[in-house]
Amino acid sequence: MSAPAANAPRSTLDTLSYLAESLTAGWELPFRGEIYDYARAIDLQNGYAIKGPFEVEKSRYLIEPFQALRNPYVRQVHVRKAVRVGGSLIADLFVCYIIRWDPGELLWLSQDDDAAGKYMDERFIPGCLKRAPGIMEMFNAPVGRLPSGGAATGRNWSLQRKQFLLPLMSAQIGGLNEGNVQSLGRRYVIIDEAWMSGQSGLINQAIARTGDYPYTKKILIVGQAGTEGDDEDQQWKRSNQAELNFKCPHCHKAQPYEFSRKRDDGSWAGMRWDTNDITCPNGRWNYDRVAESARYECFACRRRIEDNSITRRQLNDSQHYIATRADGEASIVGFHIPQEANADISFGSLVKEYLYAKEQDNEYAYRLPLQLWYQKYRAIPWNPNLTMDIKRAIYEPYDVVSTWPEEAHRFLLVDCQKDFKEFWAVVRAVALSGESRQLARRKLENWDEVAKLQAEFHIKDQMVFIDGGYEQTRCAEECVKHGHVGTITVGREKKKFWFCWTLLKGSALGTFTHTDANGIKDQRIYGRLDFIDPNIGKAKTRQVFAYAPPFPGAPRSTLHAPDVPGAPRSTLHAPDVPSSSLRPGREGPQPASPASAESGGQRGQGRGPAAVVASPQGQSRDRAAAMRVPVAARVPYYVWSNLHVKDILRRHRDQDHAPKFLSLPDESPDTDVWSYTAQMNSEIRDQVYDDRGRKTSIWRPIPRRPNHYWDCEAMFIAVCAIVGIIGSQPGT
């Protein structure tokens, strides 16, 4: 720079003075590499677990978090990590990097002022900061002069445990407390062990400090997990929640580091260990022996991944993240790192920690070790349901095949899973008192199995309820296929009605307005009867019959059920039609009387109710034939309030001032997340802020916990409300 080139600006003096003001970091090109590239030159010492130059290749799970911190589109990086995976190092190296290459005001918070000061004195300043290239030169720049020789500012650069003062930035270091989060605006905010602040609101206040830097701010949240729903958890839920995956050394299938993961066939993948006379003599763990038997089992190929440094290194080398949530805020990324991420930690030590925690819990009712195990080793937030030490559904022996004199209705509730590859079903009988008995619960594989279960328990078409939350139209098509035209005697007349499976859908709305015949409005926890038309059959061949909603109210003696032969007597009464709706054709043209309608609903026993309407030839029991006959194609449809229905279900489940809610016994082990008991405890009630900033309550699924039976039973409660067992008004 000493000899101006021929094409330099005319006034060399102007140029130099401009450069002096702007290029304050010195006469050098800005560094464009990743944070971990810069950090390779840092010779870590003092309190750091791995001493010497930082090598990101040994901890590949840190690569993506570091990249996110440099990504110009990312504003918030959340690293939820187990202990001993070196997560705090992310903050330490990031701070060195920003001081050196991207200065801006920094607020760096951890559990409290004392701990923060100690960390600075004993670890960060001597072991990292002072060893980072180019940094001490900045602190040692002549007082009052910029390192580049620029204008004086009159400040003294200083390096103290609570504050760094540098030419282009300052850093404030302390505990996450009221005093520290009310400081001036900051471009960088780092919160270490954020989970410790519980539900204090301090995380939000700290983040709010970055408000002046909407496009350049960086927030880094690091630490283990705390408790479901705490402030740290709320931030985590805003992110894309990326899970650390590895590739199986045998089959190369990517999979998350799950401690235990159940396959569809009921077998387990993940951490495995032997339970035998050597590892568990006399029912007590020999921790060293059981640790020796530890290995990991691939979810895909089921082969053993042995517990040795070579295989663990192979896993490390294939580490990458997969986002588990597509609808997170784009500028917020989250990385979940369980302890297996660290190749230096043996599987055996993880198994030991787990079994110790389980034993304390099981044998001594001492729960804390297990809680800590989830939070510290799995980096999963604690919730009291996590261990399945939860109320089993109330169980009294009862015979599902014998008649229950009080039985008023019998429902089949079906929860449909993605692509209709899996169905979860509950059959439940209910008395008018609200007392109910579960008669069956099953996982099913296709619609035919649903129909078979219906036939097995002699359930009327209109008492089958399908969750229409997923692919509503396809569900509606199935509802129509499984319908029939039946005859009800009203007074002296025989009337034809259309009966089919009913669609239900949970709603975020709290209540729904209903208006009675007199125009009086009231609020209920389910919506008004609506219809879905899946458009099956041509209009000219289609007839529309009145739908008879399964309301109680009409005198039963006047009605004959058009029902499944062989149904238990108690369920054979009519579908309880209010007289006001007994107007056939009210919903459409008057029904003609095709032969097909005459024998509606008559089905051979033991055959699936796939036939919509029996044809005179009796050949319409298959799907194709069913499509050719005239059908009344509309499907009744109700929405129900998730919040209120699940509140009621919770009380039934816990027997908290609720009618008896009997269920079949659950023989599954406590650890089985697919068990009925676990599924019935798969959601928790939580308070959240809605779009308008109002606090509302919701039922929220616990991550990685199947909740299908819970959904089925919620549908049961919704149906009880629809048929009037729950919430019927006196006098109606």
Give the interface with Zn ion as residue ranges (CB under 5 A): 248, 250-251, 298, 300-301
Which SS3 state, helix, strand or coil, does residue 698 take? Answer: strand
Report phi then psi at 78, rounded to 5.
-115, 115
CB nearer Zn ion, residue 298 or residue 425: 298
Rounded Cα distance between 601 and 611, Å, is 9
CB of 259 to Zn ion, least distance (A): 17
Helices 708-722 and 642-654 cross at an angle (nearest 10°) of 100
Helix H, strand E, coil C: the string for 144-195 is: CCCCCCCCCCCCCCEECCCEEECCCCEEEEEECCHHHHCCCCCCEEEEECHH
CB nearer Zn ion, residue 83 or residue 254: 254
Task: Using alpha carbons, select from 548, 560, 563 the residue that is nearest to residue 460.
Answer: 563
Q: What is the number of other CB atoms lying within 10 angstroms of the CB of residue 104?
A: 18
Task: List the structure tokens of 99.
Answer: 């001081």
Rounded Cα distance between 443 and 577, Å, is 32
Of the CA atoms within 13 Å of residue 682, those in its CB half-sphere come to: 22
Task: List the structure tokens of 435.
Answer: 């007392």
CB of 727 to Zn ion, least distance (A): 52
CB of 182 to Zn ion, least distance (A): 52
CB of 336 to Zn ion, least distance (A): 21
CB of 250 to Zn ion, least distance (A): 4
CB–CB of 597/614 below 8 Å?
Answer: no
CB of 378 to Zn ion, least distance (A): 22
CB nearer Zn ion, residue 233 or residue 307: 307
CB of 279 to Zn ion, least distance (A): 25
CB nearer Zn ion, residue 301 or residue 509: 301
CB of 258 to Zn ion, least distance (A): 14
CB of 255 to Zn ion, least distance (A): 8
CB nearer Zn ion, residue 250 or residue 367: 250
Which SS3 state, helix, strand or coil, does residue 524 take? Answer: strand
**AA letter at 544:** V
CB nearer Zn ion, residue 121 or residue 317: 317
CB nearer Zn ion, residue 298 or residue 380: 298
Q: What is the number of other CB atoms lying within 10 angstroms of the CB of residue 95?
A: 23
CB of 299 to Zn ion, least distance (A): 7
In Å, what is the CA distance from 104 to each residue of 20, 31, 49, 110?
19, 16, 29, 19
Chain centroid, CA 352 distance in Å = 28
CB of 269 to Zn ion, least distance (A): 9
CB nearer Zn ion, residue 245 or residue 535: 245
Task: Using alpha carbons, select from 479, 517, 731 the residue that is nearest to residue 612.
Answer: 479
Report phi then psi at 555, rounded to 5.
-60, 130
In Å, what is the CA distance from 53 to each residue of 35, 50, 56, 374, 693?
13, 9, 10, 32, 47
Strand partners, 661: 436
CB nearer Zn ion, residue 300 or residue 345: 300
Chain centroid, CA 579 distance in Å = 45
Q: Which run of H or E residues covers position 512? A: strand 512-515
Helices 63-70 and 88-101 cross at an angle (nearest 10°) of 30
Report phi then psi at 90, rounded to 5.
-60, -45
CB nearer Zn ion, residue 40 or residue 272: 272
Q: Give me the torsion for CA of 455, 457, 459, 463, rounded to 10°.
A: -120
CB nearer Zn ion, residue 299 or residue 321: 299
CB nearer Zn ion, residue 40 or residue 303: 303
Task: Using alpha carbons, select from 151, 181, 180 the residue that is nearest to residue 168.
Answer: 151
Rounded Cα distance between 472 and 261, Å, is 30
CB of 105 to Zn ion, least distance (A): 48
Alpha helix (H) residue ranges in 389-502: 447-456, 472-481
CB nearer Zn ion, residue 301 or residue 529: 301
CB of 296 to Zn ion, least distance (A): 10
CB of 57 to Zn ion, least distance (A): 23
CB nearer Zn ion, residue 303 or residue 573: 303
Report phi then psi at 62, rounded to 5.
-90, -10
Q: What is the number of other CB atoms lying within 10 angstroms of the CB of residue 114?
A: 10
